[in-house]
Amino acid sequence: MAMGLVAGPKVDHAPSGVYAPGKFCCTKCPKTFVGKDGLRRHMQQHTGRFSYWCDQCQRGFTVKCNYTGHMAKHEGRTFPCDLCDKRFQSLRGFQKHYTEHQS
Ligand SMILES: [Zn+2]
Ligand SMILES: [Zn+2]
Ligand SMILES: [Zn+2]
């Protein structure tokens, strides 16, 4: 008995990852996003509202302190203070310390 492996007409999709339905394209650069939310957050990058930008989750930050703490979360590391040599285990501890530099 033949297994009937003839699977009908080949569907000629574009290579996955290049285009998929449900993706949202940025009108100002070639980036695409899976969710509307991701695109909306990304668009803020073009407005120049934020000085610091996380490329991994499309979040903007106005102050470096928050950005540094956020990036440390992605890296799963301790929070290094860039104004001195101290490191902190928690974002809260780091932020508290950082504000002390600013006062
Ligand atoms: Zn863009
Ligand atoms: Zn992030
Ligand atoms: Zn410090």
pLDDT for 7 equals 55
CA 59 to ligand 2 center in whole angstroms: 6
Q: pTM, whole model, 2 decimals? A: 0.46
CA of 19 to the centre of ligand 3 (A): 45
The alpha carbon of 97 and the centre of ligand 3 are apart by a number of angstroms equal to 6
Secondary structure element (H or E) that encloses residue 24, with its range: strand 24-25
Q: How many helices (H) and strands (E) does the chain have?
A: 3, 6
- Regions of the chain with pLDDT less than 70: 1-21, 77
Distance CA 69, CA 77 (A): 10
CA atoms within 13 A on the CB side of 88: 19
Q: Which residues contact 86 (CB under 8 A, 6 or more apart)?
A: 80, 97
100 Cα–ligand 3 center, Å:
8
What is the distance in A from the centroid of ligand 2 to the CA of 69?
10
Q: What is the distance in A from the centroid of ligand 1 to the CA of 26?
A: 5
The Å distance, Cα 54 to ligand 3 centre, comes to: 22
DSSP class of residue 88 equals E
pLDDT for position 4: 56
Ion ligand 1: residues, CB within 5 A, are: 26, 28-29, 31
pLDDT of residue 18: 47
State the Cα–Cα distance between residues 103 and 99, nearest whole angstrom. 6
Q: Residues 20-47: pLDDT tens digits?
A: 567 899 999 999 988 888 898 889 889 9
Dump the DSSP string for 19-30.
Answer: --TT-EE-SSSS
